[in-house]
Structure 1
Amino acid sequence: MEYLDLSPYDYLSFPLPMRTVGWLGRRYGVQGASMAPMTGAELEQLKAASRRLGSRTLGWHDCDFCGAFKSNGEYRYYLPDGETYAAPMMILHYVEEHGYRPPRELRDGLRAAGQPQWDWRAERLYAVLLDQSEDPDFRCQAAVDLANWNDPRALDALRRAAHDEDLADVAGDEIGRSLAAFVDRGLARDLIAEDLHDIVRYGFDEASGQ
């Protein structure tokens, strides 16, 4: 799949509107050639923000330019201005190996970004995660992305989701990974891993390096 940067994202269904960055291919080539190359600091900011993949699928995508790199999944960047950007896992490969230069909107946003404040995006993901009538894949992606908010409401939703057996059967590993992120931040010190659903605990242990 190929998009011009900053196009509306419509590759897979997702509960929030997003814009695309880094979806390169042969039709448009390596975008951003008119921009200044990324600085070392900007590259480190992009790497730090590209810390967890969502929307992983059964297939793999080969780099259209060299064929030497495969990717699966997407990074999502929640910026303080309320914009959300989706990029393929391949984005770092494109930057480092093919000279791709992400748009200024993303680079400036990452420079300013810390943990996003609780907002309408978090409210939407919170509601999706806890709504048993929602699409299971939407709920899984909400479990992944709520960990972007260092907020007790996100932790509350994940704790509740961990006890939803039907959801845990299909998204338990992602719930566990998100819970581990809160433990790492010191916000869930009372969480007892042994009490978790087996699949949730698997994701928790994997993320915790246990």
Structure 2
Amino acid sequence: MTYFADLAPYTYAEQESIRLPDGDVVFLPRYHRVAVGWLARDREFRHAAVPTGFVEALIRIHDGPGGHANGTRGFHCCEFCPAPDLLRDGLPHTVHGDRSLFLGSAEIRLPVLQPPRRMFAAPNLIIHYVIEHDYAPPAEFVDAVMAYDDSWAELRVGPWFPAGAHVHLRNGRLSTLTPNGVKRVREIRRKR
């Protein structure tokens, strides 16, 4: 996996593709993206306990708006675990409580709503790193997770989604985000 030092500028993908309840939004971001949790075997990282409720809050973000950004067609496994320990049905996963989370194929987006506005960009494997390897994310990321409000992901023009963003709606339509809402562009023909 690509390595970024915590709080370094995120430069992995030029455009954003964020899955929202209404559809996938694809655009060139106007906000500053900050990397968190892009670990590598040959790099040191901070180990410490996280606050009570942090893992559950991070999983809620993973499950909600912004929890599936820049999805890939393949999977990246944890570089710190032996491969058989992480795989289930051939896919990387982490168990937390009664949940089995399949990770390693997307990123998480987490906005910082107060100035200066910026967006944390983390691989979804960050959940595994925290649970299994005692990774301690930076305090400002922990604070943002604990204070998370998913209203940022409402599909409207604003600091997070620019006018002109392409919206691939769940109903099979391709639309464009405008200051007045979502404007239908055309139907997407599905192959049979």
TM-score (norm 2): 0.63
CA separation of 1:6 and 1:116: change in aligned 2, threshold 3 A: farther
Structure 1 runs not aligned, ≥5 long: 130-138, 145-152, 170-197, 200-210
* Larger RCO: 1 or 2 (CA < 8 Å, sep 6+): 2
Check whether the contact 1:9–1:20 (CA below 8 A) recurs between aligned residues. Answer: yes
Over 6 Å off, 4+ runs = none
Partner of 2:56: 44
Amino acid at match of 2:120: Y
Partner of 1:63: 78
- Report the 3-state secondary structure (helix = DSSP H, G, I; strand = E; otherwise coil) of the residue aligned with 2:120: strand
What CA distance in whole angstroms lies between the structure 2 residues aligned with 1:84 and 1:56? 17
64, 68, 74: which one aligns with 1:53? 68
Q: Give the structure with the higher percent strand.
A: 2
What CA distance in whole angstroms lies between the structure 2 residues aligned with 1:154 and 1:86? 26
Partner of 1:74: 107
Partner of 2:129: 94
How far residue 45 of structure 1 moved from its aligned partner, in angstroms, is: 1.7
Aligned counterparts, 1:106-185, within 5 A: 106-116=141-151, 122-123=158-159, 125-129=161-165, 139=166, 156-157=181-182, 160=183, 163-165=184-186, 168=188
What CA distance in whole angstroms lies between the structure 1 residues aligned with 2:148 and 2:179? 19
What CA distance in whole angstroms lies between the structure 2 residues aligned with 1:89 and 1:154? 31
Partner of 1:12: 13
What CA distance in whole angstroms lies between the structure 2 residues aligned with 1:48 and 1:7? 25
- Report the 3-state secondary structure (helix = DSSP H, G, I; strand = E; otherwise coil) of the residue aligned with 2:163: helix
- Report the 3-state secondary structure (helix = DSSP H, G, I; strand = E; otherwise coil) of the residue aligned with 2:54: helix
CA RMSD of aligned residues (A): 3.2
104, 125, 129: which one aligns with 2:139? 104
User: How many pairs were matched up?
Assistant: 144
Identity, in percent, stands at 26
Amino acid at match of 2:163: A
Check whether the contact 1:78–1:116 (CA below 8 A) recurs between aligned residues. Answer: no
What CA distance in whole angstroms lies between the structure 1 residues aligned with 2:109 and 2:77? 20
What CA distance in whole angstroms lies between the structure 2 residues aligned with 1:90 and 1:28? 16
- Report the 3-state secondary structure (helix = DSSP H, G, I; strand = E; otherwise coil) of the residue aligned with 1:108: helix
Check whether the contact 2:71–2:107 (CA below 8 A) recurs between aligned residues. Answer: yes
CA separation of 1:124 and 1:84: change in aligned 2, threshold 3 A: closer
